[in-house]
Structure 1
Amino acid sequence: MSKPVILTYEGLKKLEEELEYLKTVKRAEVAEKIKQARAFGDLSENSEYDEAKNEQAFIEGRIATLEAMLKNAKVIDEEDIKLDQVSIGCTVKVYDESYNEEVEYTIVGSAEADPMNNKISDESPIGKALLGKKVGDVVSVEVPAGIIKLKILEIRK
């Protein structure tokens, strides 16, 4: 049995929208590119055709991945998010003692992690360290830059 894909409602919607876009818009675009490339004649040395076929393979692979993820999706109900400890779906404000700054992280499943927007996976080093902790707790986390200490200041939805 496949591992469940943990998603927030927002993450579920984003994946559904991406799947719909790939199926309706991108498939048609690539089919048109293939059609145009075929019109150039000899396919054995037709780089446009090869490129379009590669793009088609990538899109079909992504569609299959998204369909599998959605099939195994377990959506976190916002009502089930408890604020007494860090869990998937909550936003955590921490004080980073190493860099002397406050940072906010939203803990999400790995499928919707977006570190550039401070959405970190529950499977990431920081995500793992924060899960289950309470306001006031201090955690030490080993990251590529070394060990950092984070003090939990606030937990919210």
Structure 2
Amino acid sequence: MNKAFVKEGDGDDDDLESPAIQIPAGSKNYITPQGHQRLKDELLHLIDVERPEVVRIVSWAASNGDRSENGDYIYGKRRLREIDRRIRFLTKRLDLAEVVDPSVHHGSDQVFFGATVAYENSAGEEHEITIVGIDELDPLNGKISWIAPVARALTKAREGDTVTLRTPSGVDELTILKVSYPAP
């Protein structure tokens, strides 16, 4: 069959909710209080601001008559599906969220969720990372997920410890230089 006569999907595939990282089976969706608040703020913004505005545009465009060539209507409906998909995703993530306050470990030299860790690899390069939830990660700014191999290798180690990190390019030794947590 010629592709010209195949109807394209409307993009409502719920199994493609988001390109986000999946939570490991049997694990909780750990998140910092700040990350939880960001997700809640995004959800409320979508529900209270963006969605009503797009609904207004779509209803105005629909009242103009022929919808088949009405760009405002077509793109508005597409944007509405994107917003609804994101709302469903955020709602599910917030329902599964386990808020963990890293400030309870303030003053500790052991690595747990929420720690900011300065470490040196075997090549002598120093790095600083903060271990956060999978919905908060920002690798370019040093925020890595608690399920990342580096985070798993560092977890429960203490300042001065050397841990082994297995990477695709081989084994690396990481020496923990400093562990810090936000103040309560």
1:136 to 139, 160, 182: 160
Residue aligning to 2:53: 29
Distance 1:47 1:143, change over 3 A: farther
2:110 to 85, 95, 101: 85
Does structure 1 conserve the Cα–Cα contact (< 8 Å) formed by 2:109 and 2:178? no
Q: Report the structure number with the largest CA radius of gyration.
A: 2
Counterpart secondary structure, 2:55: helix
Counterpart secondary structure, 1:110: coil
Residue aligning to 1:74: 98
Distance 1:5 1:146, change over 3 A: same
Residue aligning to 1:20: 44
Distance 1:148 1:30, change over 3 A: farther
Alignment of 1:104 onto 2:128? yes
d(CA) in 1 for partners of 2:66 and 2:167? Answer: 52
- Displacement of 1:130: 1.3
Tell me how large the CA RMSD over aligned residues is.
Answer: 2.4
Provide Cα deviations, 1:105-155, integer angstroms capped at 9, x if missing partner. Answer: 110121211112111001112111111222122234345666544221011
Residue aligning to 1:95: 120
Distance 1:97 1:20, change over 3 A: same
Does structure 2 conserve the Cα–Cα contact (< 8 Å) formed by 1:38 and 1:49? yes
d(CA) in 2 for partners of 1:53 and 1:144? Answer: 44
d(CA) in 2 for partners of 1:56 and 1:141? Answer: 44
TM-score, with length taken from structure 2:
0.73
Does structure 1 conserve the Cα–Cα contact (< 8 Å) formed by 2:51 and 2:83? yes
- Displacement of 1:59: 0.9
Number of aligned residues: 156
- Displacement of 1:101: 2.8
TM-score, with length taken from structure 1:
0.84
Counterpart secondary structure, 1:88: coil
Superposed, 1:41-60 pairs within 5 Å as 41-60=65-84
Which amino acid counterpart does residue 63 of structure 1 have in structure 2?
A: I
Q: Could you say which structure has the higher strand fraction?
A: 1
Q: Between the two proteins, what is the percent identity of the paired residues?
A: 37
Unpaired segments ≥5 residues, structure 1: none
Counterpart secondary structure, 2:65: coil
Q: Could you say which structure has the higher helix fraction?
A: 1
